[in-house]
Amino acid sequence: MSLDFDAVVIGAGFGGMYMLHRLRLKGFKVRVFETGKGVGGTWYWNRYPGARCDVESVQYSYQFSPELQQEWEWTERYATQPEILRYANHVADRFDLRRDIKFETRITRATFDEAAHAWTVETDKGDRVTARFVVTALGCLSSPNTPKIPGLADFKGPTYHTGNWPHEGVDFTAKTVGVIGTGSSAIQSIPMIAKQARHVTVFQRTANYTIPAHNGPLDPDYVREVKANYPAMRKRAKTMPAGIDLRVNMASAVETPEAERLREYQGRWDYGGLGFMASFSDLLLNDESNRTAAEFVRGKIREIVKDPELAARLSPRNIIGCKRLCVDTGYWATYNQPHVSLVDVGDTPIERITAGGLRANGKDYRFDCLVLATGFDAMTGALLRIDIRGRGGRSLQEKWTEGPKTYLGLTMAGFPNLFTITGPGSPSVLTNMLPSIEQHVEWIADCIEHVRSRGATLIEASRDAEEAWVGHVGEAAGATLRSSCSSWYVGANIPGKPRVFMPYIGGLPAYIERCEAVVKAGYEGFAIV
Ligand code: N01
């Protein structure tokens, strides 16, 4: 049977773009399908005001091309969404990617043909193509979550989801705005919305921890130094659990004298960003250590927010770093402004959305526009939106009824020739996504090449290898405090979703080592036919 393509790639974000490039370099015929009108994935959709990456721009970038790495100029320590999208477009142009991408096309179904060892992929535009391999590059946070609050359709004003923001932008000047949510997207957008709006009411279910970004223009001398030493920096980053080149203090928080401990926290706070969690090595292992970091941040909230009662309501009580830590620019100070108010909806959920606002705690709140900063059906949502059928016509939905099961976050038993870039069971969202994406893409491309070089047409993870990996992922999660709270890491934000810690928390170095060992052992845990 002659197939249309060697591989179909789903999604043209950073994962899909590099997958296309890498497979083309190896001489494969590839077609990418992308729902959006352009490349960029997350950075194509999340255009809300204030959207920017919380990994520093010189590290949140591709490293596969030394030329690209040298020629691209980042302007700020943390790049804005428009700048990252420009970068994605530059990459697409530079490597002539667009000619193999079909935009504005959503994959609806992918069915494995057991006789032909091939996938048939169908789209909402009526395409029906065959390919030996399918690679999903769907992103971990790409299926926006609109909570089922009664009356949502009754609201007469415009409703915006941060994860699907209008391309033309939104002018909130003179408007009153209601914002539901206090996660990363809300924490970035609320200060920006408050700059324009007449009044902002934030509906908070769980108070959240955030560390100042201290963003600013990049110093040209620093950039020169980074560029001169890029390979060494990238190499160092790969030895770090999160794939980010930062200093990890190996000391224990509780075993460090208080004055020294506070100095460490203050230094990290002054520097800004996610490195705060690297202040001590046991912050996510030891409750007491974690409390010292949490209390430090609560102290900062009390210093910044002038009204003590409001400061108390904004202060998180849970484990710091259990939910994804946020990085902000002026978040808490925003609440000192008289036109910004906070409503707690933690103890009693929002009753309903009304024509002119919403009802909570027995009170009516009125606003012109509603912003849903309510996050995503993370890690599995985008995959499960596609009707994926493996051996025996079994759907991925059926396979994952009790939670996602993968081998290395890359493949699944019963679904031969299917690969997932940053799938559940891989470090993905716990790391700098760009190096994680690159590692996956390179592993997958090498694997496909290996299958071809053996004259084979099928590769499939064994159930035993998958079970062992799922067990290891679960064990690793159980050893940290991170699996203890109701976060999107465990699917707690989506009613009915199985509660499983989805990413692999063993760290990027251990993960890379494992992936490489599997290859060295002749693709251990796989059948190749
Ligand atoms: O989504 P979230 P996000 N009633 O799920 C609340 C990445 N990211 O889009 O905590 C009331 O974190 C919900 O409340 P609770 C990053 O990995 C990165 O902000 O579930 N409230 C929560 O406050 C991040 O973690 C960047 O109690 C409801 C909020 O909505 C991930 O994306 C920037 C509710 C959702 O927060 C997701 O972030 C942005 C309801 N019915 C995002 N339903 C950077 O790189 C939900 N909520 C900087």
Cβ of residue 147 lying under 6 Å from some atom of ligand 1: yes
Q: Read off φ and ψ for residue 359, nearest 5 degrees.
A: -115, 125
The two structure tokens encoding residue 96: 């002539």
pLDDT at 292 over 80: yes
pLDDT at 287 over 90: yes
The two structure tokens encoding residue 421: 């870039």
| Of the candidates 414, 403, 423, 416, the residue with the CA atom closest to the CA atom of residue 471 | 403
pLDDT at 12 over 90: yes
Atom 3 of ligand 1: nearest residue by CA position: 375
Task: Spell 64-76 as b/e; 16+ CB within 10 A means b.
Answer: eeeebbeebebeb
Cβ of residue 435 lying under 6 Å from some atom of ligand 1: no
Return the pLDDT at 189.
98
Query: 81-94 and 14-25 are packed helices; what angle lies between their axes, rounded to 10 degrees?
Result: 10
Per CATH, domain 5-143+377-528 is 3.50.50.60? yes
* C-alpha distance from residue 504 to each of 237, 268, 336, 404, 510 (Å): 18, 26, 39, 12, 10
Q: Read off φ and ψ for residue 231, nearest 5 degrees.
A: -60, -40
| Of the candidates 78, 95, 73, 80, the residue with the CA atom closest to the CA atom of residue 12 | 95
pLDDT at 148 over 90: yes
For residues 266 and 252, what is the distance between their CA atoms, to the nearest angstrom?
16
Out of 141, 325, 348, 377, mutate this one to test ligand 1's pocket (max ligand atoms within 8 Å of CB): namely 141
pLDDT tens track for 503-529 = 999 999 999 999 999 999 999 999 999
Return the pLDDT at 1.
73
pLDDT at 63 over 90: yes
Cβ of residue 183 lying under 6 Å from some atom of ligand 1: yes
For residues 19 and 266, what is the distance between their CA atoms, to the nearest angstrom?
41
CA 401 to ligand 1 centroid distance, Å: 24
For residues 178 and 515, what is the distance between their CA atoms, to the nearest angstrom?
46
CA 186 to ligand 1 centroid distance, Å: 7
Atom 45 of ligand 1: nearest residue by CA position: 53
Cβ of residue 329 lying under 6 Å from some atom of ligand 1: no
Ligand 1 atom with minimal separation from the 163 CA:
9
For residues 18 and 26, what is the distance between their CA atoms, to the nearest angstrom?
13
What is the distance, to the nearest Å, from the Cα of residue 1 to the centroid of all Cα atoms in its chain?
Answer: 38
CA 475 to ligand 1 centroid distance, Å: 26
Mean pLDDT of 54-82: 97
pLDDT tens track for 381-405 = 999 999 999 999 999 999 999 999 9
Task: Spell 495-517 as b/e; 16+ CB within 10 A means b.
Answer: eebeebbbbbbbbbeebbeebee
pLDDT tens track for 341-367 = 999 999 999 999 999 999 999 999 999
Mean pLDDT of 43-70: 97
Mean pLDDT of 85-100: 98
Locate CATH 3.50.50.60 in the chain. 5-143+377-528
For residues 239 and 508, what is the distance between their CA atoms, to the nearest angstrom?
7
E strand or H helix at 397: helix 396-399
Ligand 1 atom with minimal separation from the 182 CA:
23
pLDDT tens track for 456-486 = 999 999 999 999 999 999 999 999 999 889 9
The two structure tokens encoding residue 416: 């031969």
pLDDT at 173 over 90: yes
Out of 52, 184, 210, mutate this one to test ligand 1's pocket (max ligand atoms within 8 Å of CB): namely 184
Predicted confidence band of residue 232 (pLDDT cuts 50, 70, 90): very high
For the chain, what percent of residues have pLDDT higher than 90?
Answer: 99
pLDDT tens track for 423-455 = 999 999 999 999 999 999 999 999 999 999 999
Which residues are paired to 418 by β-bridges?
134
Return the pLDDT at 275.
96
Mean pLDDT of 372-387: 98
Other residues' Cβ atoms within 10 Å of the Cβ of residue 243: 26
| Long-range Cβ pairs for the range 17-21 (8 Å, 24+) | 17/88, 17/91, 17/92, 17/95, 17/97, 18/62, 18/64, 18/437, 18/438, 18/441, 19/135, 19/137, 19/421, 19/441, 19/444, 19/445, 20/97, 20/100, 20/101, 21/64, 21/95, 21/97
Mean pLDDT of 156-175: 98
For residues 130 and 11, what is the distance between their CA atoms, to the nearest angstrom?
17
Out of 165, 205, 359, 436, mutate this one to test ligand 1's pocket (max ligand atoms within 8 Å of CB): namely 205
ipTM surpassing 0.95, yes or no?
yes
Cβ of residue 374 lying under 6 Å from some atom of ligand 1: yes
Ligand 1 atom with minimal separation from the 148 CA:
41
The two structure tokens encoding residue 71: 């020629």
Return the pLDDT at 25.
98
pLDDT tens track for 198-230 = 999 999 999 999 999 999 999 999 999 999 999
Return the pLDDT at 483.
87
